Structure 1
Amino acid sequence: MKRIVQLGSTLLVAALVLTACSGSPGDDAAPSDDVPRELILGNNGDVLSWDPGEMKEGAIISYAEAVYDPLLRKTSEGVVEPNLATDFEYNEDLTELTLTLQEGISFTDGEPFDAEAVIANIEARKAGSGSASEAAASIDEVVATDDSTVVLQLSAPNPGLLSALATYLGYMASPAAIEAGTIGSEPVGSGPYVLDSGSTISGSSYAFERNADYWNAEAYPFDTVVIKPFEDFTARFNALTTGQIQFMYATPDMVEQAEASGLTVQTVPGEWQGVILQDRAGTLSPALGEVAVRQAINYAIDREAILDTYYNGFGQVSTQTFNPASQAWIEELNERYPYDPEMARELLAEAGYAEGFEIPISYSEGFMSPLVPIVQQYLAEVGITMTPVPINGFANGGLETLKGQPAFMLSFSTNIPAWTDVLNKLTPTSLWNNFGYTDDTVQSLLEEIPLTQGDEQTALYQELNTHLVEDAWFAPIVLQQNVYLASPEIDVTMQQAQLIPSLRFFAPAD
């Protein structure tokens, strides 16, 4: 059976013409007057590198989207559609993806966007260490059949490839800047904006001016964009209520005050929060090498109580780490670990830890800080002594600290397709599997899933998810409703399975 994922350039052009008449965000709406418009975003963190191949953080996507245009893009519902590539088509066995490229586009340094530029970018992503590296690893070679056509030849089918080409793998940077080695410090793309170095203060405020030559300017109604990093949620909220920023990713406890302040509150199913038990082989923490111990940790946590109190009910209890709209999700799995401290103690005794054990668990300061003592108390009640290890923000080496910890608490995005979560957390080289752990079941399923489609693939995903829950690779607590606060001056369309909505989903309120 031949599987084709294709949208013609004629359809794309027609869509752009039609949507240019609409006034809702994300619908390529042009501003109705000549008044300069500015969008100011409060961001979760700082940008460490402008190299798309080194970018790792979900919130950092806003910085990337300002300057880099992707080959493909996602709708607000997560559907992949054309962008710099006007057509995309797989061969019958899903091992070759042909991309037809737009013509007449240049990077802001004058370099042409063409097939050779795509090759340079894909090769650079393959050599990088960021979020794109896992998806790029499946690409054996990129072949240019002419200036506007490239064929991605894969070592094996990759169900997450199209999605990856709509984010970091697909962000196109100037080949000259890549070759010169300057792309990490000075972004050069073909995106809707260019970095205004004169108005930028590194670590504090990043200013972007409209790219006068951008091919799809109607999709971005703001003349300037400013991104201000705040690692502290309270500082970010204060900046929003005092008009210093117009948008932020928030915490549920801020909703009541935000509504009283006249801010717009929106939610979307998003991140799971809990513990990654990454030392599953017991390398640093022998106790974590025991399945019964990892299961005991799951039984020890009262998810319902935490949801009602800490999250103010914004979400649902969860034992799984996939998106509810993905193929892998099984609603019944959330009943696998009811709060049962007695069962936790029995499992610990079964594993040889009747007297308990000690374990350091690192966490990212800010969002996780109030949750840490709650989890610490629940673990203590079954005999597990948790030593919290706060880490610096990722901009200050925090990510490197996590790599050596047996377990850590963070907030993790869930994605569509589920394969993106596989690449992020489940392979031996995944960014969030720093100990490189796997087992025969996971390894076998990860080999089978890309070779299937439809119901057969769904069944394999769900088998994988069930195994991860039963084997307690993680200790999720809640799949939260991501909370977003915005000034009434702007309209924002929520986006499924992306931590921060894409810039084209922001528009002036008028």
Structure 2
Amino acid sequence: MRNIVFAAAVAAMGSVASAPSVMAQVANDDQTLAIAAILDNNSFDRAQLMIANQMQFWQPVLDTLLVMQPDGKVVPNLATAWSYNDDHSVLTLTLREGVSFTDGTPFDGNAVKANLDYLKKGAGQNGFMAALISEVEVVSPTEVRLHLSEPDPSLIDNLTVVGGAIASPATLGSKDFANNPIGSGPYIYDVSASVPGRQYVYNRNSNYWNKGAFPFERVTITPINDQVARLNALKSGQVDAGLGEARTVADAEANGLVVQRNDVNWLGFIIADREGKITPALADVRVRKALNMAFDKASILKFVELGFGRLSDQIFPTGSSAYVPELDKVYPFDPKAARALLEEAGYGKGFTLVLPELASFASFNPIVEKQLKDIGITVQWEKIAPNATIPELRSGRFPAYVFQFGYQGTWAEYQKFGYPHSAWNTSKVADPQFLKMLDATQHAIGDEQIKGYRDLNRYMVENAFFAPWYRRDTIYLTNKQTAVKLHPTNAVPHIRDFSKAE
């Protein structure tokens, strides 16, 4: 029966068949970096910029204050130096001289202040990256001080992405800017050649201060949501790079494409209602531990993901300061022990869980339903429209759900899940002990902070905040003429990490 359930799940994912390629406006050539994206751009407005799959759209145009290399090291960029005061309440940035935006506006301290103020006041998803900046003090054209209302352990990392993206201050708030970004970056957005939703075209900025780091004369980004069409575009040479999936790897390798794997995302059963507001049973840690032991994670990884991933009971990757090796193997697959825990908690007769039926994760539904039934839990599915997935999950209506999350950095993960106001603490759970530990870690420095990160991680696993299954490999494909280094905190590579293969 188990193999039948897994076979059905794999079949539900679909098979690799022929699909039409997506025609681009600007053809690919050896001076162009042609990228296939799985999502369309949302907006170029400075306050609405995104990370993850949509970061590549703005990176050619908007340079960042700092840069994170593929090895995770942060290095200078528009800011040439940075330092904290003793209590980490003020971050001082020294700015690069002689840089101008492509509209002629100079890059200086006033430009940095305008961008950070605009990001903080905006309603964008990543406005939190500037939330703790209480004041941007412009000391001189080449120096700014970021005054913080409280320590922000993620600030340096955030300045390498949306938090540090710098647009021409003359464009901030302009309606035109949402469709025509103006920055100081290595490329200039070509409005006339681009067709939003179909292809985005960027031409080299001849005045960029670091041209040697970007070997291509042109960058094009073509949104191709369908994975078969995306693979066909790679095989035909229409594009040079794009995301793949586990079930496309064999086809990609057979056609001479280069396959890389990146440990960015984790997938599993999210236990949102840990206070039992919707499903009282979930307030008992024994029930949550039973859920961790209910799923045959190894078989899910083998049959659904074809082995492209790594089993783990924690949400942090090996490169995180919070990673604790022994937390990878805490909860074995043991339905008998899970049923015993439910009996001990007073739920020997089981209970019912209402779960959202999500189109993107539908292949897991028969597995979840069968394996929860095996320990006495009945699943009722509530269908969710694909375009309503995120709002529905964040509404707090569901006590649990299957989902995938990316990794944005150690402290960012605690910000994402740990506080009652956190975006993905959907049931607004307030764990007093955990909050106390968060506060101590936020205000710690150096080794004490790292110890705090690990203690928090251990607390989450031991108290079964989630039931992680595995770290799901992100598959990235390129042709043999294109080289790329994958990034530890993003699903797709940064534009600066592409090069021509030698």
Q: 2:246 aligns with which of 239, 243, 252?
A: 252
Residue correspondence of structure 1 range 482-493 to structure 2 within 5 A: 482-493=474-485
Q: Which position in structure 2 is the counterpart of 1:13?
A: none
CA distance in 2, matches of 1:376, 1:111: 58
- 1:223 Cα shift? 1.7
SS in 2 for 1:41: strand
Cα distance, 1:64 vs structure 2: 2.3
* Matched residue, 2:460: 468
Q: What is aligned with 2:152?
A: 158
Deviation of 1:430 after TM superposition, in Å, equals 2.7
- AA in 2 matched with 1:277: I
Deviation at 1:172, TM superposition (A): 0.8
Query: Which of 439, 460, 467 does residue 447 from structure 1 map onto?
Result: 439
Aligned to 1:378: 371
Contact 1:108 1:189 in 2 (8 A): yes
Shift of the alpha carbon at 1:129? Answer: 4.3
Tell whether the 8 Å contact from 2:418 to 2:435 is kept in structure 1 after alignment: no
Structure 1 spans left out of the alignment, 5+ residues: 1-34
Residue 363 and residue 41 in structure 1: after superposition, are their counterparts in 2 closer, same or farther (change >3 A)?
A: farther
Distance 1:441 1:181 in 2: 46
Shifted more, 459-468 versus 495-504: the winner is 495-504
Partner of 2:451: 459
**How much has 1:448 moved relative to structure 2?**
1.0
Instruction: Give the corresponding residue for 1:225.
Output: 219
Contact 1:52 1:64 (8 Å CA) reproduced: no
- On the 8 A contact 1:135/1:158 being kept in 2, the answer is no
Asked if 1:409 is matched to 2:402, the reply is yes
Tell me, yes or no, if the aligned pair for 1:194 and 1:210 is still in contact at 8 Å.
yes
Preserved contact between residue 180 and residue 191 of structure 2 (Cα < 8 Å): no
Which amino acid is the alignment partner of residue 426 of structure 1? G
Tell me whether 1:206 sits opposite 2:197 in the alignment.
no
Amino acid at match of 2:351: F
Amino acid across the alignment from 2:54: I
One-letter identity of the residue aligned with 2:190: D
Spell out, residue by residue over 1:270-328, the C-alpha distance to the aligned partner (whole angstroms, 9 max, x if none): 21111322232333444433333322221111112222222233222111111212121
Provide the TM-score with structure 2 as the length reference: 0.87
Q: CA deviation at 1:340?
A: 1.2
CA contact 1:363–1:409 (8 Å) conserved in 2? no
Measured after TM superposition, the shift of residue 410 of structure 1 is: 2.8
Match of 2:291 in 1: 297
Match of 1:321 among 315, 318, 342: 315
Query: Deviation at 1:461?
Result: 1.2
Per-residue CA deviation, residues 218-272 of structure 1 (Å, 9 max, x unaligned), is 2111222122223333332233223332212222232222111111011232211
> In the alignment, does 2:139 pair up with 1:148?
no
Corresponding letter in the other structure for 1:400: P
* Corresponding position of 2:117: 123
Counterparts of residues 97-108 of structure 1 (less than 5 Å): 97-108=91-102
Q: Out of 431-440 and 170-179, give the one that drifted further.
A: 431-440
Distance in 2 (alpha carbons) for counterparts of 1:175 and 1:111:
8
**CA 1:246–1:380: 2 relative to 1, 3 Å:** farther
Answering whether residue 325 of structure 2 is matched by residue 331 of structure 1, we say yes
Task: Report the RMSD for the aligned CA atoms in angstroms.
Answer: 2.4
Runs of at least 4 residues of structure 1 off by over 4 A? 387-393
Quote how far apart the aligned CAs of 1:361 are. 3.4
Which of 493, 497, 502 matches 1:505? Answer: 497
The yes-or-no answer on 1:419 pairing with 2:421 is no
Distance in 2 separating the partners of 1:102 and 1:483: 36
Letter in 2 for 1:248: G
Shift of the alpha carbon at 1:330? 1.1
Q: Percent identity?
A: 37
After superposition, the Cα gap between the structure-2 partners of 1:213 and 1:433, relative to the gap in structure 1 and judged at 3 Å, is farther
Q: Aligned partners of 1:352 and 1:433: how far apart in 2?
A: 26
Q: Which runs of 5+ in 2 are unaligned?
A: 1-28
Question: Quick check: 1:134–1:423 contact (8 Å CA) kept in 2?
Answer: no
- Which amino acid in 1 is paired with 2:468? P
Helix, strand or coil at the partner of 1:214: coil
In the alignment of these two chains, the number of paired residues is: 472
Contact 2:65 / 2:160 at 8 angstroms: preserved in 1? yes
Supply the distance in 2 between the matched residues of 1:413 and 1:304 (Cα, whole angstroms): 20
Deviations 1:44-95 (A, max 9, x none): 3222222343334511111121221110001110111111001111111111
Shift of residue 452, structure 1, vs aligned partner: 2.1
Match of 1:496 in 2: 488
1:67-216 mapped onto 2 (5 Å cutoff): 67-180=61-174, 182-216=176-210
Residue 437 (structure 1) aligns with: 429
Q: CA deviation at 1:390?
A: 6.2
The 3-state SS of whatever aligns with 2:171 is helix
The structural deviation recorded for 1:391 is 5.2
Change (3 A) 1:360 1:53: farther
